[in-house]
Amino acid sequence: MSVLLNIKEYEEPAVKICPNGTEGETIELGGLLICLPKRPPKKQIFGYKESNSMQVWRRVSMPQELSRIKSMDEWAEMPRQFREKFRPYIEEEFRRRREGFGFITTVQLHILRGGIT
């Protein structure tokens, strides 16, 4: 949810666009002040530990075993051990969906923001 926010350094209020309520850098875009969400922690930024030449966009592939499941019914029919094995992966993907996905390409941080409700 977007809200108007008063910021000390500016006379005009800024639009706060973070779905989680965090406050990061404030930028001016076409005369409108926008308060960006807080930068994600380094461990959540894809490619952060890579050398500059390796900081390129790469698709994060779904585990092969998981890609065979086509419905929630199939997921529910899988053994508990199978579901527990992939729980961390699934929880991380839902976190990215909610909060966004940060990645670096040649030292430039990019963030694909999650759903804004």
Q: What is the DSSP letter of 37?
A: P
Structural domains counted in the chain: 2
Q: Are residues 49 and 67 in the same domain?
A: yes
Q: Are residues 59 and 25 in the same domain?
A: no
User: pTM value?
Assistant: 0.64
14-32 burial, b if ≥16 CB within 10 A, otherwise e? Answer: bebbbbeeeeeebeeeeee
Provide the residue range defining the domain that includes 98: 39-117
Q: Are residues 109 and 60 in the same domain?
A: yes
Q: Are residues 29 and 78 in the same domain?
A: no
Over residues 21-68, the pLDDT tens digits come to 778 888 888 888 888 888 888 888 888 888 888 888 788 789 999 999
Q: What average pLDDT is seen over the chain?
A: 82
R_g over Cα of the chain: 19
The tokens for 77 are 């029919």
pLDDT surpasses 90 at 5? no
Q: Are residues 18 and 73 in the same domain?
A: no
